[in-house]
Structure 1
Amino acid sequence: MSERPFRFGLNVMELTGPLEVAALARRVAELDYDVLLVPDHLGFPAPFPTLVAAGATADLRLGTFVLNAAFHNPALLAREVASTDVLTGGRFELGIGAGYVAEEFETAGLAYGTARDRLDRLVAVVDTVYARLADPGVAPRPTQPRVPLLIGGNGNRLLTLAGERADIVAFTGAAPAPDDPSAFRILTADGFAERVAFFERAAGARAGVIERNLLVQDVQITDDREAALAARAGRMPHLSAAERATVPTLLVGSVEQIAAQVRQLRDRFGITYITILQPALESFAPVIAALRGT
């Protein structure tokens, strides 16, 4: 079992007004989340200004979850990272991945390329950003001695990169469908275990020092877990009822049952950092309260 304390993050999906980021950040802190996160999808809030605004309001860690490496010039990104770290008092965490939504690449006028192309780009961006952040001759300088690096994804090469370079690995808990690589299928506990085992082999001696994150896709507090799982059968037609009950990214049941699920994620997979999507902000809060100090 990992000895790390639990951390809980909230991934922002939308903001409806100019004052909402402040109110949201305050509420995230009140509910005892640790990290406010912003993804990097077109149609969502822009990550860096949102995080700076949130950081001015509440004492939270702040991060991107995750940047699409193809969207960012690495030298300019290093400047954004350093500036955001300074403006948030050294609370920034850089989350980055290879990008996977082909339509967003097209809208942005960028070549989608192959998975290898996108991963090559990710490696180049990470290398350049961290070289510049470590160079005392490059300004601005970040506040933290090292801005934590989170690498998120599921494939072998990405998990290998995370094992070599990341401070935090973020598992997606889903894999491309065999008949449609642009679609994703939710992994069962056994499928997820294989991905974690691959990561541990790739990370070698570093496996025990890298924080492990899981992005939870669905949270429902209910006294009838069996019925709630059955209602989701249409979303996961490739899984049996028994398999749906083991899905790591699906937290369904009473507060006590979900708290037990999260402890099982820690005990079996070493997951201690849980990211929740914005719609579950309020409903997941009692689970955080149940897990603090355990």
Structure 2
Amino acid sequence: MTDRHPEVSPFRFGVVTPFGPDVAGWTETVRRIAGQGYSTVLMPDFPRLQPAPAAALAVAATVADVRVGTWVYAAPLRRPWLTAWEAHSLTLLTAGRFEMGIGAGRPGIEEELRERDLHVPSPGERLQQIRETVAALRELDGADAHTPVVTAVTGPKARALAAEIADTVTFAMTPTESRASVEERIRSFDSTRKVELSMHVPVVGDSVSPFMAPPDIDTGSLRETDSLSCLPLDPAAAADELRRRREELGVSYIAFGADVADTFAPLVAELAGR
């Protein structure tokens, strides 16, 4: 965390909420998450495996008074102007409750792009797509709106871009990456603006949340290495760990999977907004 902004933000919590098994069940999950105090319902961007994020989030925003967001748009899947138009439309339709999460694309997306006869951009081209998307979004928002942008980053060039254009930065990590490596990446982040720091937690106890990490992860090894990609199942112990992360790293916005939302409802009640 940069020394220019030593203050930390209040805790808030999002839930990656994949669709399934039916509309009634999914909308009930959205209502329950909102009622438990989570700030944001998040939708993964997995073509064919999930409904399009914009459509799903528009529905979510009508069934509960909750923020909605993409976790995260894969920039190579769409032209920048199309992503920006979709994001701005969601800001309008949700009365300002939409957050655009965007990143360079998950591991393995190159094969998905080839299957769809889409160009496979270089890492530099992907960052340029993100820059162009946010620039187009700002033009569409104009002076009367501001769609918050959440960027998922790993390398130094992505972190530099995020420091320039993002409202929230989430630090992507492989589940097996060492705690020290991720902590160093977070501590090296520097911005002249106040930027909220975020982290997604795909593993809780022995549970791996769908669409957040590969299902065959060795969860025992993660605990042995004190990985930042996991939390203990006990809400009190998890709350202590999140306080530690905020104190040491400045991370205040945490995304869980919907499969652990009920378990962590007491944690959210204790920490959210504080």
User: Same fold, TM exceeding 0.5?
Assistant: yes
**Structural mapping, 1:150-169, within 5 Å:** 150-169=150-169
Give deviations 1:133-167, integer Å, cap 9, x for gaps.
32x7xxxxxxx621111111211111111101100
Correspondent of 1:215 among 179, 197, 200: 200
Verify the 8 A CA contact 1:39 1:47 in the aligned structure 2.
yes
Verify the 8 A CA contact 2:203 2:230 in the aligned structure 1.
yes
**Structural mapping, 1:38-117, within 5 Å:** 38-42=43-47, 43-100=49-106, 101-117=109-125
Structure 1 residues 255 and 235: CA distance shift in structure 2, 3 A? closer
In structure 1, distance between residues paired with 2:263 and 2:223: 27
Which residue type is aligned with residue 119 of structure 1? L
Is it true that 1:13 corresponds to 2:18 in the alignment? Answer: yes
Q: CA RMSD in A?
A: 2.4
Provide structure 1 residue ranges, at least 5 long, that are not aligned to the other structure.
137-143, 175-184, 223-231
Correspondent of 2:242 among 246, 262, 277: 262
Verify the 8 A CA contact 1:29 1:59 in the aligned structure 2.
yes
In structure 1, distance between residues paired with 2:24 and 2:112: 27
Q: Report deviation, 1:210.
A: 0.4
Partner of residue 267, structure 2: 287
Secondary structure, counterpart of 1:78 in structure 2 = helix
Q: Report deviation, 1:218.
A: 0.7
Give deviations 1:237-274, integer Å, cap 9, x for gaps.
6x793xx22x2221015222111000011001101100
Please say which structure displays the higher CA radius of gyration.
Answer: 1
Structure 1 residues 128 and 87: CA distance shift in structure 2, 3 A? closer
Q: Report deviation, 1:12.
A: 1.7
Larger RCO of the pair (alpha carbons < 8 Å, separation 6+):
2
In structure 1, distance between residues paired with 2:218 and 2:101: 32
Q: Calculate the TM-score normalised by the size of structure 1.
A: 0.80
Partner of residue 118, structure 1: 126
Which residue type is aligned with residue 267 of structure 2? V
Partner of residue 177, structure 1: none
Partner of residue 28, structure 2: 23
In structure 2, distance between residues paired with 1:74 and 1:40: 15
Sequence identity of aligned pairs in percent?
Answer: 29
Give deviations 1:168-220, integer Å, cap 9, x for gaps.
0011233xxxxxxxxxx5333311121112212xx2x22xx101110101113
In structure 2, distance between residues paired with 1:236 and 1:169: 28
Which residue type is aligned with residue 272 of structure 1? S
Is it true that 1:274 corresponds to 2:254 in the alignment? Answer: yes
Structure 1 residues 236 and 123: CA distance shift in structure 2, 3 A? farther
Structure 1 residues 54 and 193: CA distance shift in structure 2, 3 A? same
Provide structure 2 residue ranges, at least 5 long, that are not aligned to the other structure.
1-5, 208-215
Which residue type is aligned with residue 195 of structure 2? I
Structure 1 residues 115 and 3: CA distance shift in structure 2, 3 A? closer
